[in-house]
Structure 1
């Protein structure tokens, strides 16, 4: 069974309201404005978004936090899984992406801010713990200290049986930055699992699924 068969892409009603081409244009414009904040020149594919979103809890009233949602490819897939009463927050640094998300996903709680302030941003909204943190952040663009800081905060906010998921590009696995990131993940979580490669993404990618945060 391929990764796409195991994790079928969800319908994309949010993006449909503003148009897929509009989403791509908005993402490209933001990437060109702030290239240091974006690790790609196109949003994640529906196939990759579906794989990440598949770990989001379907239980009653969970709290799910997205980091770096961009134009909301992953947001749409998550929304398709969440039960009524769920709280779904997205933390986005780029102000134009914030505006785009609020238009495309009116039910989403969009937080304009930096993921390096994750705990403070959640505390301001009365959240101490989340059931899942799902990330589209460009980890390769962060230095080691920033990676460690964000992941430590993720580990601190997710429930003991919660989950953290993020993706990486297959083509970059051998790079030194990617190896350092994997070491940090293993130092932060007891369980780090890689999904099959999602070939229907450009470039092909896989997802890290992490559980049981360690006490740092």
Structure 2
């Protein structure tokens, strides 16, 4: 089994550099704090062998929090679109399965990795940068990739809550999942953030993507 040793030096520097080069791809001004990461990772189950997928892993702060909770025999996969972040994650966290790709192709990416379902999916995706159709498509990919009763979490900042695109996304959460809740806010995050959690109905998957 690969060691979980972390070479986290340079996480923030790499993340900020990627933002400067491609601000519309990452959609954040700073990495999530460890407190936010712990809240996001709270959906990781304790079932041995659980499969946990992270979308938009960035510099790896949430990846580390997921690793801390991952049960024995668990499988941790990170899907990341930004090339700089993919390279950084593979170098700093060799124990993490990093898939270079778009969350909009989640089902196909997981199938190629031999994953038929995920027990939990954790997201840092910039939902307000997606139009309504993109939001619906990506959330549909997430829901259809979860096992029945699977859990989802996504990090967002308080600054986006009034935006029409976020309100549409929030409505999609209610339409897609059986239950939706919030954790936080975490005021000392930059900017202040909270985490939405959602659970897929037990006994069924959903393919509703709006």
Give TM-score, length-normalised by structure 1.
0.89
CA distance in 2, matches of 1:92, 1:199: 26
After TM superposition, give the deviation of residue 70 of structure 1 in Å.
Answer: 0.3
After TM superposition, give the deviation of residue 215 of structure 1 in Å.
Answer: 4.8
Match for residue 22 of structure 2 among 34, 43, 65: 34
Give the aligned CA root-mean-square deviation in angstroms: 1.4
After TM superposition, give the deviation of residue 175 of structure 1 in Å.
Answer: 1.3
For residue 186 of structure 1, what is the aligned residue in structure 2?
174
Q: Which segment drifts farther, 184-193 or 70-79?
A: 184-193
CA distance in 2, matches of 1:144, 1:194: 22
Preserved CA contact (<8 Å) 1:50 1:74: yes
For residue 70 of structure 1, what is the aligned residue in structure 2?
58
Match for residue 43 of structure 2 among 39, 51, 55: 55
1:101-149 Cα distance to aligned partner (Å, 9 max, x none) = 0111111000001111000000001111100000011111111111111
Superposed counterparts of 1:94-105, under 5 Å: 94-105=82-93
SS of the equivalent of 1:126 reads coil
1:129 paired to 2:94: no
Match for residue 31 of structure 2 among 35, 38, 43: 43
SS of the equivalent of 1:80 reads helix
CA distance in 2, matches of 1:196, 1:41: 19
Give TM-score, length-normalised by structure 2.
0.92
Distance 1:112 1:106, change over 3 A: same
Structure 1 residue ranges without an equivalent (≥5): 1-11
CA distance in 1, matches of 2:100, 2:32: 20
CA distance in 2, matches of 1:206, 1:38: 18
SS of the equivalent of 1:196 reads strand
The number of aligned residues is: 201
1:203 paired to 2:191: yes
Distance 1:97 1:215, change over 3 A: closer
After TM superposition, give the deviation of residue 165 of structure 1 in Å.
Answer: 0.4
